[in-house]
Structure 1
Amino acid sequence: MKKTSNKKAREGVSVFKYIVSVLSRLLKISIQSIIVCFPVILTLVIINSLLGVHIRFSYYFKLAILSTLIMIISLIVLKSKSIFSRPVKKVKKTVPAKTNRKVQRSTQRRRKRIS
């Protein structure tokens, strides 16, 4: 009974860690899109005010929110494989040490001569 409960507890913790990692990746993407979209809209406001185009600020605010949401959704769709995939455990392969065959042959020959 204890072994199964420990296994279920470990699975629950791993699921929780997976959900937290996915949410952190989504938060990172949303912050990146906010950082990109709001300055673009701000420059649009400044350029329009310099050119004499006067539009209500709520229009720019709606435009900023809409562009941010579109960018968040498009980035999530484009990066969905990397966001929702579980990390792959990397197995280190043992690499044989490089040996010089000529040196090995000469040591084997020497041993044969001595014996």
Structure 2
Amino acid sequence: MNVDEQTFLIKSVECLEGAGSEYANGRYNNCANRCYYACFQAAVYALASAGIRPTMQWGHGFVQAQFIGELINRQKRYPTDVRDVLERTYALRETADYEVGHVSNTQASRALRRARTFVTAIQVRGAERS
């Protein structure tokens, strides 16, 4: 694992810890935002570790499509139960960041649980590689 890859995992864990803190303090919109970025950064780490890199930048669509298509469906590196986590947390982040409505306690709690499962799956796989 190189330093660049590791940086994405460190950022992912930091976002996940931030999501937990935001949830504990009742800031559910920000919790949703941090949950998505915890998953996004973890997925970038997983893709980079697998040698999959974008031609330009780590865009949301690229990361979601490649993580699901390559690392779950094709290479079977991650369990299928995390297949929809990026999409679901992205949709909730969109609500939190750009819509008039608010993220509820229940929505934030579920997003946090999914994000923890997602990041843990990637950490476990990364530890197996080391």
Q: What TM-score comes out, normalization by structure 1 length?
A: 0.31
Query: What TM-score do the two structures reach when normalised by structure 2?
Result: 0.29
